[in-house]
Amino acid sequence: MTYASVIVDVPAKQTDRAFDYEIPEKWEGFIQTGMRVIVPFGPRQVQGFVIEIKATSSVKKTKPISSLIDVSPILTKELLQLAGWLRDHTLCFTISAFQAMLPAALKAKYEKWIIAKDLDKIPPHLQLLFQPSSRVRFEELEGTSHYKLIKQLIEEDIVEVYYEVKDKLSKKTVRMIELNVKKDELITAKQQIPIRASAQHKLLDYFIHSNKERVEKKQLLEVLQIGTSAIQAVVKLELMKEIQEEIYRDPYENREFKKSEPLPLTAQQQEVISPILQSIEENKHKGYVMFGVTGSGKTEVYMQAVDAVLKKGKEAIVLVPEISLTPQMVNRFKSRFGSDVAVMHSGLGMGEKYDEWRKIHRKEVKVVVGARSAIFAPFENVGIIIIDEEHETSYKQEDTPRYHARDIAMERGRYHQCPVVLGSATPTLETFARGTKGVYQLLTMDKRMSDQGMPPVEIVDMREELREGNRSMFSRNLLEKLQSRLERGEQSVLFLNKRGYSSFVMCRDCGYVVECPHCDISLTYHRSSNQLKCHYCGYEEPVHATCPSCDSEHFRFFGTGTQKVEEELTKLLPNARVIRMDVDTTTKKGSHEKLLQQFGDQKADILLGTQMIAKGLDFPLVTLVGVLTADTMLNIPDFRSSEKTFQLLTQVSGRAGRHLLPGEVVIQSYSPEHYSVELASAHDYLAFYQKEMQIRKNHQYPPFYYLALVTVTHQELTKVVTVTERITSFLGMQLSKEAIILGPVSSPIARIKDKYRYQCIIKYKKEPNLHEALKRIVEKYQAQMDQEKLSIHIDLNPYMLM
Ligand code: ADP
Ligand code: ZN
Ligand code: ZN
């Protein structure tokens, strides 16, 4: 008899350990570590991961494994081990670590059913629920008044809970509404539809005025705010038809990539690549900070290092921030390495992601270019890990397990004895500090590839503009420069910093701001639906005409969306062709890339957008970059807000003058004297680093101190306060006198979804007891967390203090 140690998919403290199961004879020798199985666990069947095969078990009575999910391991030995590291360093459950390493398509999904064992014993008023199939979906009962009774029936063994593991890998399709007639036929047909049927008119109008022939059904329903019956009616008239469209599995499959050859490296590139090549050659783990200004040729260095790794028969992991946002980067890797590259990012559908993951798993590719979760790519012979734009906050996962991809990269780099390269023009203070202290080796590239050098940056004081009577969102200076680009046939990029900035609605007479009734946060105006929405809980309401507080009509949209900028722009520069890129224009798959392509083909003069245009774009004809609002992020209550502002302004400025034509940058700001604005315009990272390090030191923030954040949430305020108080005083007893414990204080967003939020922040240098103390807190409150919906989140090295 052989046994398997299994981590079961029941994320709870008591079950966060391996359980032993017998391996039935028929599967002996077949079941391996890293495979998923179904095992009996108490009264139910659950999924589990096999982490060890052994000849004996110290458990007296073991049950056999019920069935297999995989026929080959889906987690390598290294990843099984890495899960333990994640558990210890982020305080998550082992099972959550496993799940984080797998594509969503592979994650456990059950259908829970309540099955009647003895229908006659079920109270008559409930019997109907169990007919005709004598089973009912668990979710249908959860939260209803029957729930208590059902629970009792379970205990009396009259009904039972059954877990059905679903196979969820079906083909991905969407419902589309397609025009069945010509546009002018629509216009005549419209006249015959009764006026009352206003939804049908809306639908027809949409197609008459739009240049599209087919639109996703869901999108139509949302945008037009109509019901399905209107669509059915129009389909019945045979004006349109409803079709199922299968979505592409490989989004890059049908695209041609021109093969690119390695470029002869410049002296500067040569200098930074040689230590990396040496590490590759010697199979040595080492961390590198590649500190290179925008346009210094970092990507070419990455690609040639990857090339060296492939020549040794090894594999490469390249992380880029949410690459659906930087198609140019994907193109560069695809052109160089062709079908050896898998691409993984959140823009892909679940099935597509799974397909890309499978290519890695089956060793059909040797390079993965992907966002955060690609750090778990199941390669077994990794030769290099590269993290581009390492300062990006999207490398930190905000849900359990709360890991940072950089830490995982270092851990895997140690395991595979390979170099890890962290590249950025604006490294995080943590990383750069390690670079200067020699923990990582610092590689500097301070010259751009083009001879132009860094573009000159001009700061415009928008308060001054206002004083001189210019109420427009464009300063006179910026407008003039845009004009001159139009005349010369050159291109401009306009950047609107939307982060930390909401288009909230405010009364100009009494200052009333419309807030979400469930969360302590202002509602955001959505122009397309003319609704106010809460970004935290999804609550929405229509826009009021007058102020609900004082009835004033001076109740207007505060804040500037890209749409509004576009409107003003076309008024001021009627001849300019503008491409707008924001969440509204890029929701459809591939639209992001299409818009960039159009801009690259010079079908527009101005590219206007939010964060998504800040990174990685490289267009030869762009000679002007304008930042409309530089400082909206400075007001966020976050000790990293200056750093983030500096990084963003530097990134944006880097989009200008990357090739032959000289570029320039105009930054509009309401706080032009702020050092992060000033130093970004001077392209002076080192001065910023020194200044900011001083501030961090004085205020005891990273990288001088580590941070841990405990957030407690519950429906009742008194409960939240008492629990947080207890946690704070418990930590006070467990930790050393050097630790700084702040709290309990209300979180910056004090309430979300009707739940109050309190926090406790721990600043520390060395606290060997911290992890243990935090674990004990979770254990102590486990019962309350399960039963009373109390929640306690622990984030070690938090990136969001909200
Ligand atoms: P970064 O990633 O540092 O922003 P890039 O890798 O995008 O910089 O390089 C900027 C530009 O210089 C790109 O157009 C790139 O193709 C070009 N380039 C990079 N290395 C070389 C080289 N060795 N010779 C010629 N052109 C190069
Ligand atoms: Zn008012
Ligand atoms: Zn809300």
Does 745 lie in the same domain as 731? yes
Which residues sit opposite 3 in a β-bridge?
Answer: 22, 54
In three-state secondary structure terms, 95 is helix
Check the CA dihedral 145-150-151-152 and report its sign: positive
Rounded to the nearest 10°, the torsion over CA 735, 739, 740, 741 is: -20
Helix axes 228-236, 198-209, angle to 10 degrees: 70
3-class DSSP string for 233-286? HHHHCCCEEEEEEECCCCCCCCCCCCCCCCCCCCHHHHHHHHHHHHHHHHCCCE
448, 449, 621, 683, best to mutate for ligand 1 pocket (most atoms within 8 Å of CB): 449
Domain boundary among 695, 727, 747: 695
Structure tokens at 425: 């023009």
**Is the domain of 624 the same as that of 720?**
no
All residue ranges of the chain with pLDDT < 50 are: 108, 165, 167-171, 248, 324, 499-501
Strands (E) across 588-739 are located at 606-609, 622-627, 664-669, 706-714
Structural domains in the chain (count): 6
What residue type is 697 in one-letter code?
Answer: K
Question: Are the C-beta atoms of 287 and 439 separated by less than 8 Å?
Answer: yes
Inter-CA distances, 662 with 434, 444, 534, 610, 654, Å: 35, 23, 43, 24, 12
Q: Kindly state whether residue 245 falls inside one of the protein's structural domains.
A: no
Distance CA 739, CA 730 (A): 13
CA angle 337–340–341, rounded 5-degree value = 80
CA of 515 to the centre of ligand 2 (A): 13
- Taking every pair of Cα atoms in the chain, the longest distance, rounded to a whole number of angstroms, is 87
Residues 761/679, Cβ–Cβ less than 8 Å: no
With CA atoms as reference, report the closest residue to 290 among 429, 426, 176: 426
Residue 35 lies in a domain: yes
Q: Tell me whether residue 166 is exposed, middle or buried, using C-beta atoms within 10 angstroms of its C-beta: 0 to 12, 13 to 18, 19 or more.
A: exposed
Residues within 5 A (CB) of ion ligand 2: 507, 509-510, 512, 547, 549-550, 552
* Same domain assignment for residues 362 and 484: no
Mark the residues whose beta carbon lies below 5 A from ion ligand 3: 516, 518-519, 534, 536-537, 539
Residue 42 lies in a domain: yes
Residues 102 and 115 in one domain: no
Distance CA(705)–CA(766), nearest Å, equals: 9
468 shares a domain with 377: no
Q: Distance (Å, rounded) from C-alpha 799 to C-alpha 802?
A: 9
Beta-strand relationship, 110-116 and 214-216: unpaired
| CATH number reported for the structural domain that contains residue 755 in this entry | 3.30.70.600
Ligand nearest to the CA of 448: 1
From the CA of 751, the nearest ligand is 3
Indicate if 491 and 636 belong to the same structural domain: yes
**What letter represents residue 121's amino acid?**
K
Quick one: which atom of ligand 1 is closest to the CA of 292?
3
How far is the centre of ligand 2, averaged over its atoms, from the C-alpha of 524 (Å)?
A: 17
| Structural domain includes residue 262 | no
618 shares a domain with 474: yes
Cβ atoms of 778 and 793 within 8 Å: the answer is no
Tell me, in angstroms, the distance from the centre of ligand 3 to residue 537's CA.
Answer: 4
Q: State the Cα–Cα distance between residues 117 and 452, nearest whole angstrom.
A: 79
CATH number at residue 616: 3.40.50.300
What tokens appear for 5 in the block? 């140690």
Residue for token pair 């290294």 = 78
Is there a single domain that holds both residue 317 and residue 223? no
Please indicate, yes or no, if residue 613 is contained in any of the structural domains.
yes
Q: Which of 537, 505, 549 is nearest to 523 (CA)?
A: 505
The answer as to whether 246 is a domain residue is: no
State the ligand closest to the CA atom of 513.
2
**C-alpha 530 – ligand 2 centre gap (Å):** 20
Q: What is the distance in A from the centroid of ligand 3 to the CA of 307?
A: 49
Q: Which atom of ligand 1 is nearest to the CA of 269?
A: 23
Q: Is residue 552 assigned to a domain?
A: no
Rounded to an integer, what distance in angstroms lies between the CA atom of residue 792 and that of residue 203? 47
Phi-psi group of 383: left, alpha or beta (phi > 0 → left; psi -120 to 50 → alpha; rest → beta): alpha
- b (16+ CB within 10 A) / e for 336-373: bbeebbbbbbebbbbbbbbbbbbbbbeeebbbbbbbbb
700 in any annotated domain: no
Whether 225 and 283 map to the same domain: the answer is no
Q: What CATH number is given to the structural domain containing 62?
A: 3.40.1440.60
Same domain (yes/no): 772, 657 = no
Candidates 621, 351, 615, 299; CA nearest to 489 is: 621
pLDDT digits (tens, 9 = 90+) for 382-434: 999 999 999 998 899 988 899 999 999 999 999 999 999 999 999 999 999 99
Inter-helix orientation angle 298-311/327-337, to 10°: 40
Task: Calculate how far, in angstroms, residue 268's C-alpha sits from the geometric centre of ligand 1.
Answer: 12
Domain of 190 in residue numbering reads as 181-238
Same domain, 637 and 762: no
Report pTM. Answer: 0.77
- For ligand 1, mutation pick of 299, 306, 329, 389 (most atoms within 8 Å of CB): 299
* CA–CA dist 249, 241 (Å, integer): 24
Judgement on whether residues 290 and 437 belong to the same structural domain of the protein: yes
Q: Are 713 and 720 in contact, with CB atoms under 8 Å apart?
A: yes
| E strand or H helix that includes residue 462 | helix 462-467
Q: Residue 802 Cα, ligand 3 centroid: separation in angstroms? A: 15
pLDDT of amino acid 501: 42
Q: What are phi and psi of 534, to 5 degrees?
A: -95, 125
Closest ligand to C-alpha of residue 445 is: 1
